[in-house]
Amino acid sequence: MMSCIVIAQEQGAPPDDQSIARARRLMRKIDKDRNGTFEKTENARTWKRYQRLDADGDDCLTVQELGSDRTAYLQTGGRRSLDVVYKTVGNRDLLLDLYYPTEMSPSDRCPVIVYTHGGGWAAGSKQGAARGSFARVFLDLVGHGFAVASVDYRLCKPDSGVAMRDCVIDCKDAVRYLAKHSDSLGLDAGKFFVMGDSAGGQIAQMLLLSPSESLAGDPELASTPFQLVAGVSWYGPCDFERMDLFNHDDRPDFRDRFEPRILGTSGGTDAAEAKRELLENKLQRYREISPVNYLAGDSPPLLMIQGDKDTTIPVKHAYYMKERAEAVSASVQIMIIRNAGHNWRMVDAEIDPSREAIEDRTVQFFVDHR
């Protein structure tokens, strides 16, 4: 069930077997005419994402070219275990990537940071750990002796029946898997941490604050307890019941855009009945996936970093979480970034503190709680 540990690819090296296997899975998704290659004419938007890999400039990508993508994984120079199957749902394997500290002996047991990617619960992948600020944070943490586990989970696609709670359940099962196999994986089961951004920030908060036995998924993993030490949420929401927290400019015509992803209704002849049944339990569903409801005096420390001009996940969430934490004496720190929109986009002026300061604060928070 567990992938073997391999040495990280060096820049310019030919794709290894795991990179080719990933490229084949990707090809099955994007090769609409099923001819074994992906042409620019098949989907212009998808082509833009991968055109840098077109080494021979023929407007056509092969599996070998897709497998050469060095941005898909963290280039740590250390050991890594890619595409580990942590559970299977239906006929789909759910995967995680595990990166080890750059200096680690076979007998070591290292702390691990579980990364849950963003994407509105409907997009994104574990490869997000290897991009932008996330790569810089995780490479720094690997250098500090942490392992990093980047997790894929089911996504809330139309008519899939997948709801936000399923995203949380999958990520909880990933943590349960890591805890269950901590000895063979070389992980310290007493030093698990979590980090996520946007939707992944909400998932990270849920993993950190909700009881380990709640939201059970795979029966083979359900009995495995885990304890998280601390966590970081970048621009993640904390409460779905308080929809006013999502209304950044207090518009009177504000609408709830999350209902389909929270309820997870699917199509088919029974869709109307299924939705009616879900609506009867709507409030329960909203409360269940709101991390703020799990705050307690003994909750593990949480750092929330949010932009003051974020219109996707307004800064109100950080202030509200801090307010609720103080009421129950929970450990929640907030860092507010001025002039920052979602994903630390600059709004009107340079963000302050800088992106580098955000990365440094994130790394130091984990180091301080190790």
Whether 18 and 87 share a structural domain: no
Q: Give a yes or no: residue 16 inside a domain.
A: yes
pLDDT at 230: 98
Name the domain boundary from 67, 96, 115: 67
Name the domain boundary from 33, 51, 67: 67
Q: Give a yes or no: residue 212 inside a domain.
A: yes
Whether 207 and 105 share a structural domain: yes
Q: Give a yes or no: residue 264 inside a domain.
A: no
Q: Give a yes or no: residue 312 inside a domain.
A: yes
pLDDT at 167: 97
Whether 99 and 204 share a structural domain: yes
Q: Give a yes or no: residue 1 inside a domain.
A: no
Whether 24 and 124 share a structural domain: no
pLDDT at 1: 37
Over the chain, what HEC string results?
A: CCCCEEECCCCCCCCCHHHHHHHHHHHHHHCCCCCCCEECCCCHHHHHHHHHHCCCCCCEECHHHHHCCHHHCCCCCCEEEEEEEEEEECCEEEEEEEECCCCCCCCCCEEEEEEECCCCCCCCCHHHHHCHHHHHHHHHHHHCCCEEEEECCCCCCCCCCCCHHHHHHHHHHHHHHHHHCHHHHCEEEEEEEEEEECHHHHHHHHHHHCCCCCCCCCCCCCCCCCCEEEEEEECCCCCCCCHHHHCCCCCCCCCCCCHHHHHCCCCCCCHHHHHHHHHHCHHHHHHHCCHHHHCCCCCCCEEEEEECCCCCCCCHHHHHHHHHHHHHCCCEEEEEEECECHHHCEECECCECCHHHHHHHHHHHHHHCC
Whether 361 and 304 share a structural domain: yes
- Domain limits for position 48: 10-67
Whether 54 and 152 share a structural domain: no
CATH number of the CATH domain containing 93: 3.40.50.1820
pLDDT at 19: 73
Per-residue pLDDT of the chain (370 residues; tens, 9 = 90+): 333 333 333 334 566 666 787 788 788 889 989 999 999 999 887 887 788 888 888 999 999 888 877 667 898 888 999 999 999 999 899 999 999 998 877 778 999 999 999 999 999 999 999 999 999 999 999 999 999 999 999 999 888 889 999 999 999 999 999 999 999 999 999 999 999 999 999 999 999 999 999 999 999 999 999 999 999 999 999 999 999 999 888 877 777 888 889 988 654 445 566 666 666 788 999 999 999 999 999 999 999 999 999 999 999 999 999 999 999 999 999 999 999 999 999 999 999 999 999 999 999 999 999 9
- Residues 313/342, Cβ–Cβ less than 8 Å: yes
Whether 143 and 17 share a structural domain: no
Q: Give a yes or no: residue 167 inside a domain.
A: yes
pTM of the model: 0.83
Q: Give a yes or no: residue 181 inside a domain.
A: yes
Domains: count for the chain: 2
pLDDT at 213: 94
